[in-house]
């Protein structure tokens, strides 16, 4: 009997020791890899998304209502401050033809806001020493026809490349067949379209830069762009409602929000240009973009050194404040004030995603009716004490819609 009791006690001690080692190992793993989410992480994330509409910020509510009524904004809006949502609203139609209303968790094509994710992915691969910012595109695609274009120049829109969106339109004959990133790379190699400028001579914003970066991600990782960002950005951020959708994989993109071009009767149907990704192609929600902001700020995705590099302007500042980093538009204010943001404009969608790093403020406007409504946000910026994210506000000339703003 004593021997049996000793065996049971020994077995209990062994199991306890194994449990303790496993817990300690998991703790160590968590400390060394912030991308692994704990129960505590998930609980903290859920608290970021708590919102009580009865406590909405009245000024913002009135502002958004007027923006909808007077300027025609249609879409989803969220403002968060110090880790708390102070206002959110889904306003208008998801699909005007079928009279479907937007919901707070509706997924929008992020358009060029996608570029921020591509930039993060590239910087992750740099941290993992799988590529270098000074790597030439020819290292990954030897038949690439341009000399002197590096990863760094693509990230900062200094490659001088032409915009593939316009270049391929007259070449891709079967418009019912979507292009992939590799298809575009092959077309560039075959036709060698004239560059806009010599590499590293000037800032020239265009989609080709980030389409090529996505192609490089696929070459380096041996998988799809969608797989990489899902595993290395969406999952570590807790973004469960964010996806990469390409017409090369989906005949019809599986979301309910339809883009509309200027007037309601013109809904925009996805076409062959919705095949390439990296410059666009990520679909997400207001709440997931809040989680993305949090993951960036808490080091889940990149080291602070990489973030500092991405948030540094790598071009000549416009109006003394506006610049472009690695996948982020930048506003540098006085006394180290840093605001990073990105606009988006594609096939009936128009957005702005603003992150005031200094004051911990997030402003998100996701619109699916292309108009000039997002040019009228100055009053909101001033109310929140955020720099006015409109270049013309600092020169008195006004901002031209579409002028290097997607």
pLDDT of amino acid 4: 47
Between CA 134 and CA 150 the distance in angstroms is 5
Between CA 406 and CA 403 the distance in angstroms is 7
Q: What phi and psi values does residue 86 have, to the nearest 5 degrees?
A: -105, -10
Burial status of residue 227 (CB atoms within 10 A of its CB: 0-12, 13-18, 19 or more): middle
Q: What is the DSSP letter of 346?
A: E
Q: pTM value?
A: 0.91
**What are the tens digits of pLDDT across the range 164-192?**
999 999 899 888 899 999 999 999 999 99
Q: What average pLDDT does range 215-226 have in this prediction?
A: 98
262: confidence class by pLDDT, cuts 50, 70, 90:
confident
Place of tokens 């993992």: 128
Between CA 150 and CA 199 the distance in angstroms is 9
Residues 6+ away with beta carbon under 8 Å from 402: 345
Write the DSSP string, 61-100. Answer: HHHHHHHHHHH---EEEEEEETTEEEEEEEESEEETTTTE
379 versus 97: the higher-pLDDT residue is 379
- Is residue 317 over pLDDT 50? yes
Q: What phi and psi values does residue 119 have, to the nearest 5 degrees?
A: -60, -40
268 versus 17: the higher-pLDDT residue is 268
- Is residue 18 over pLDDT 50? no
Query: With pLDDT > 90 as the criterion, what percentage of the chain qualifies?
Result: 79
pLDDT of amino acid 33: 72
**What are the tens digits of pLDDT across the range 107-130?**
999 999 999 999 999 999 999 999
Q: What is the DSSP letter of 303?
A: -
134 versus 402: the higher-pLDDT residue is 134
Closest CA to 77 of 404, 387, 350: 350
Query: With pLDDT > 70 as the criterion, what percentage of the chain qualifies?
Result: 88
20: confidence class by pLDDT, cuts 50, 70, 90:
very low
**What are the tens digits of pLDDT across the range 274-295?**
999 999 999 999 999 999 999 9
What's the length of the chain? 406
Query: Residue 273 corresponds to which tokens in the numbers above?
Result: 């240009």
- Average model confidence (pLDDT) for the chain? 90
pLDDT of amino acid 36: 84
**What are the tens digits of pLDDT across the range 49-103?**
999 999 999 999 999 999 999 999 999 999 999 999 999 999 999 999 888 999 9
Lowest mean pLDDT among 23-37, 156-170, 334-348, 379-393: 23-37
For the packed helices 286-297 and 39-48, what is the interaxial angle rounded to 10 degrees? Answer: 130
Between CA 134 and CA 132 the distance in angstroms is 5
- Is residue 25 over pLDDT 50? no
pLDDT of amino acid 131: 97
pLDDT of amino acid 89: 98
pLDDT of amino acid 121: 98
374 versus 23: the higher-pLDDT residue is 374
- Is residue 38 over pLDDT 50? yes
Query: How many angstroms separate the most distant Cα atoms in the chain?
Result: 93
Q: What average pLDDT does range 210-227 have in this prediction?
A: 98
**What are the tens digits of pLDDT across the range 247-258?**
999 988 999 999
- Is residue 10 over pLDDT 70? no
Closest CA to 402 of 376, 370, 378: 370
396 versus 228: the higher-pLDDT residue is 228
Query: Residue 360 corresponds to which tokens in the numbers above?
Result: 């911990």
Place of tokens 């090369």: 248
pLDDT of amino acid 176: 87
């Amino acid at each position: 009997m004593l021997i049996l009791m000793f065996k049971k006690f020994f077995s209990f001690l062994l199991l306890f020791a194994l449990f303790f080692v496993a817990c300690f190992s998991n703790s160590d793993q968590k400390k060394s890899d912030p991308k692994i989410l704990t129960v505590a992480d998930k609980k903290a994330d859920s608290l970021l998304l708590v919102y009580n509409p009865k406590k909405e910020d009245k000024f913002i509510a009135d502002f958004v209502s007027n923006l909808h009524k007077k300027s025609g904004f249609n879409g989803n809006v969220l403002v968060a401050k110090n880790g708390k949502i102070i206002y959110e609203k889904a306003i208008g139609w998801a699909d005007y033809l079928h009279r479907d209303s937007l919901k707070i968790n509706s997924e929008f094509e992020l358009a060029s806001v996608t570029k921020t994710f591509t930039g993060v992915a590239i910087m992750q691969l740099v941290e993992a020493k799988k590529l270098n910012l000074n790597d030439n595109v020819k290292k990954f695609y030897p038949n690439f026809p341009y000399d002197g274009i590096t990863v760094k120049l693509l990230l900062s829109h200094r490659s001088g490349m032409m915009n593939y969106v316009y270049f391929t339109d007259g070449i891709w004959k079967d418009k019912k067949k979507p292009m992939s990133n590799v298809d575009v790379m092959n077309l560039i190699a075959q036709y060698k379209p004239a560059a806009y400028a010599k590499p590293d001579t000037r800032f020239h914003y265009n989609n080709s830069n980030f389409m090529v970066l996505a192609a490089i991600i696929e070459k380096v990782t041996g998988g799809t762009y969608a797989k990489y960002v899902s595993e290395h950005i969406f999952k570590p951020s807790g973004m469960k409602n964010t996806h990469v959708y390409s017409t090369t994989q989906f005949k019809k993109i599986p979301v309910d929000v339809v883009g509309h071009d200027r007037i309601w009767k013109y809904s925009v149907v996805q076409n062959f240009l919705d095949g390439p990704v990296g410059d666009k192609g990520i679909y997400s929600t207001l709440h997931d973009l809040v989680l993305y902001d949090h993951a960036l700020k808490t080091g889940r995705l990149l080291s602070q050194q990489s973030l500092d590099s991405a948030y540094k302007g790598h071009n000549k500042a416009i109006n003394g404040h506006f610049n472009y980093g690695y996948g982020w538009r930048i506003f540098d204010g006085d006394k180290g004030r840093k605001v990073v943001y990105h606009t988006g404009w594609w096939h009936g969608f128009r957005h702005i995603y603003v992150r005031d790093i200094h004051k911990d403020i997030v402003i998100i406007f996701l619109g699916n009716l292309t108009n000039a409504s997002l040019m009228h946000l100055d009053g909101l910026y001033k109310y929140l004490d955020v720099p006015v994210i409109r270049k013309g506000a600092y020169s008195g000339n006004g901002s031209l819609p579409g002028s290097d703003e997607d």
